[in-house]
């Protein structure tokens, strides 16, 4: 227990500075060694690292952060870690401008998605499509029925070039089938290793956001998993974080003002 506590200290200091992904990286590295995984970042390792990080942040938060009044306007189901991190800023716009967690940002933007077919929903879908174009789509081949082509279908709908939502549904069915095929090639505990599996799931989340409850959070997480899976083993966490950071800039271009 003493060893674990010593390992947590630098991670918590990193969290105080607002860099939650670097904090997560330190936890994952420590947990992998403790669990005898030799540095491998399996789903079990990442899950346990996430649990420990949340516990440590919870213990440290009372002494680190005093929540400003504006935090009360955040959605009631907002991620606790996101709330704690945001509390260091004097306004929601400052937090939005500084955030590098595209998953948090996509989740918040999805709250203002609008009804199916309106401009707000289409804006959200275009944002997710651009995130995918700059992250995981370039990692998979452009074949018949490829995610790139179905993303173009979703973009065409979102730009108002046609209003046939069934074309987007059909595109989703194509990619969902590809994701299912890929799922047979990997076990649940090793799914993080597979570029195509993660990329196809990211595309599915973007497409379904056009006509169902938006899944922006899952879209950018799956996309970052694909990018990380394409990296070398020891660069998994850093590649994941870098991908989220790059997509955060894209989301800010589509939503320069915090979507609250």
* 90 lies in some domain: no
Task: Give the pLDDT score at 11.
Answer: 39
On whether both 114 and 39 belong to a single domain, the answer is no
Distances in Å between the Cα of 161 and the Cα atoms of 66, 110, 168 are 48, 22, 13
Higher pLDDT, 46 or 107: 107
| Tokens found for residue 251 | 């989301």
Q: What is the pLDDT of residues 217-258, one digit of tens each?
A: 999 999 998 998 888 666 777 888 899 999 999 999 999 999
On whether both 190 and 124 belong to a single domain, the answer is yes
Q: Which of these three, 64, 87, 118, is where a domain ends?
A: 64
Q: Which of these three, 17, 34, 64, is where a domain ends?
A: 64
* 87 lies in some domain: no
Q: What is the band of 188 on the pLDDT scale with cuts at 50, 70, 90?
A: low
pTM for this model (two decimals): 0.76
On whether both 120 and 171 belong to a single domain, the answer is yes
Task: Give the pLDDT score at 33.
Answer: 64
What mean pLDDT is reported for the chain?
Answer: 80
C-alpha 198/C-alpha 226 separation (Å) is 5
Closest CA to 104 of 180, 217, 192: 217
To 10 degrees, what angle do helices 165-183 and 147-158 make? 160
On whether both 57 and 161 belong to a single domain, the answer is no
Task: Give the pLDDT score at 118.
Answer: 83
Q: What is the pLDDT of residues 154-187, one digit of tens each?
A: 999 999 999 899 999 999 998 898 888 888 877 6
On whether both 160 and 221 belong to a single domain, the answer is yes
On whether both 166 and 106 belong to a single domain, the answer is yes
On whether both 239 and 143 belong to a single domain, the answer is yes
Q: Which of these three, 41, 64, 87, is where a domain ends?
A: 64
* 10 lies in some domain: yes
Higher pLDDT, 199 or 143: 199
Q: What is the pLDDT of residues 95-128, one digit of tens each?
A: 999 999 999 999 999 987 777 778 899 999 999 9
Query: What phi, psi does 18 have (nearest 5°)?
Result: 95, 0
* 71 lies in some domain: no
On whether both 225 and 160 belong to a single domain, the answer is yes
**Residue 233 carries which DSSP code?**
G
Domain encompassing residue 243? 102-254
Burial 189-217 (b: 16+ CB within 10 A, else e): eebbbbbbbbbbbbbbbbbbbbbeebbbb
Higher pLDDT, 66 or 111: 111
| Tokens found for residue 167 | 């074309």
User: CA angle at residue 239 from 55 to 25, to 5 degrees?
Assistant: 25
Q: What is the band of 2 on the pLDDT scale with cuts at 50, 70, 90?
A: very low
Task: Give the pLDDT score at 15.
Answer: 36
* 92 lies in some domain: no
Task: Give the pLDDT score at 224.
Answer: 92
On whether both 246 and 157 belong to a single domain, the answer is yes
Closest CA to 190 of 88, 40, 38: 40
What is the domain count for the chain? 2
On whether both 42 and 124 belong to a single domain, the answer is no
Task: Give the pLDDT score at 133.
Answer: 93
pLDDT at 142 over 80: no
* 79 lies in some domain: no
* 191 lies in some domain: yes
C-alpha 10/C-alpha 203 separation (Å) is 36
**Residue 101 near residue 95 (C-beta atoms within 8 A):** no
* 81 lies in some domain: no
On whether both 59 and 110 belong to a single domain, the answer is no
On whether both 111 and 240 belong to a single domain, the answer is yes
Closest CA to 81 of 4, 10, 23, 25: 23
């Amino acid at each position: 227990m003493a060893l674990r506590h010593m390992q947590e200290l630098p991670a918590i200091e990193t969290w105080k500075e607002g860099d939650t992904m670097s904090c997560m990286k330190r936890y994952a590295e420590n947990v992998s060694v403790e669990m005898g995984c030799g540095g491998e970042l399996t789903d079990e390792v990442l899950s346990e690292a996430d649990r420990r990080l949340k516990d440590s942040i919870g213990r440290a938060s009372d002494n680190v952060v005093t929540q400003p009044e504006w935090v009360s306007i955040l959605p009631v189901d907002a991620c606790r870690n996101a709330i704690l991190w945001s509390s260091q800023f004097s306004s929601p716009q400052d937090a939005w401008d500084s955030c590098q967690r595209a998953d948090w940002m996509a989740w918040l933007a999805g709250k203002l998605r609008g009804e199916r077919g309106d401009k707000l929903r289409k804006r959200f879908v275009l944002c997710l499509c651009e995130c995918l174009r700059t992250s995981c789509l370039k990692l998979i081949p452009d074949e018949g029925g490829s995610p790139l082509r179905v993303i173009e279908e979703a973009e065409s709908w979102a730009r108002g070039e046609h209003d046939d939502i069934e074309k987007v549904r059909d595109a989703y069915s194509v990619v969902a089938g590809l994701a299912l095929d890929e799922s047979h090639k990997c076990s649940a505990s090793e799914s993080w290793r597979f570029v195509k599996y993660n990329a196809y799931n990211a595309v599915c989340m973007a497409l379904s956001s056009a006509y169902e409850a938006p899944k922006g959070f899952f879209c950018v997480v799956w996309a970052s998993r694909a990018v990380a899976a394409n990296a070398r083993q020891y660069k998994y966490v850093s590649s994941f974080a870098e991908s989220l950071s790059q997509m955060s800039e894209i989301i800010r271009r589509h939503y320069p003002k915090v979507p609250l």
